[in-house]
Amino acid sequence: MKKVLSGIQPSGSLTLGNYIGAMKNFVKLQEEYECYFMVVDLHAVTVPQEPASLREQSEAVAALFIAAGIDPARSNVYLQSHVPQHAELCWLMTTLTSMGELERMTQFKDKSSGKDTVGAGLFVYPALMAADILVYNADLVPVGEDQKQHLELTRDLAGRFNHRYGEFFTIPEPYIPKVGARIMSLDDGTKKMSKSNPNAGSYIALLDPPDVIRKKISRATTDSGREVVYDPANKPEISNLMSIYAECSGLSLAEITGRYEGQMYGGFKKDLAEVVVAALEPLQERYHEIRSSGAITDILASGAERARAVASVTLQGVKDRMGFLPPRSK
Ligand code: AMP
Ligand code: TRP
54-89 residue pLDDT tens = 999 999 999 999 999 999 999 999 999 999 999 999
Quote the pLDDT of residue 330: 87
| CB-based contact 308:83 (threshold 8 Å) | yes
The model's pTM is 0.95
Give the model's pLDDT for residue 60: 97
Is 43 a pocket residue for ligand 2 (Cβ < 6 Å)? yes
Report the C-alpha dihedral over residues 184, 189, 191, 196, rounded to 10 degrees.
-60
Element (H, E) at 166: none
Q: Is 330 a catalytic residue?
A: no
Q: What are phi and psi for residue 77, nearest 5 degrees?
A: -115, 125
- Report how far residue 324's alpha carbon sits from residue 75's, in angstroms, rounded to the nearest whole number: 32
- CA geometry: angle 119, 40, 313, nearest 5 deg: 110
User: Which ligand is nearest the CA of 7, by number?
Assistant: 2
The domains of the chain are located at 3-176+294-322, 200-288
> Is the CB of residue 74 less than 8 Å from the CB of residue 68?
no
Residue 319 annotated among the catalytic residues of the structure: no
With the C-alpha atoms ordered 10, 12, 13, 18, is the resulting torsion angle positive or negative? Answer: negative
Looking at CATH, the fold of the domain delimited by 200-288 is given as Tyrosyl-Transfer RNA Synthetase (1.10.240)
Verify whether residue 192 is a known catalytic residue. Answer: yes
What is the pLDDT at residue 10? Answer: 97
Helices (H), 48-139: 51-68, 85-94, 99-103, 106-112, 120-134
> How far, in Å, CA of 60 to CA of 277, rounded?
20
3-state secondary structure of 33: coil
| CATH fourth-level superfamily of 3-176+294-322 | HUPs (3.40.50.620)
The pLDDT tens digits for 190-243 are 999 999 899 999 999 999 999 999 999 999 999 888 889 999 999 999 999 999
Nearest CA to ligand 1 atom 11: 144
User: What separation, in Å, do the N-terminal and C-terminal C-alpha atoms of the chain show?
Assistant: 38
Distances (CA, A) of 253 to 36, 180, 194, 203: 31, 11, 23, 21
145 CA from centroid of ligand 1 (Å):
8
**pLDDT under 50: residue ranges of the chain:** none
Binding site membership of 147 for ligand 1 (Cβ less than 6 Å): yes
Question: How far is ligand 2, taken at its centre, from the CA of residue 318, in Å?
Answer: 22
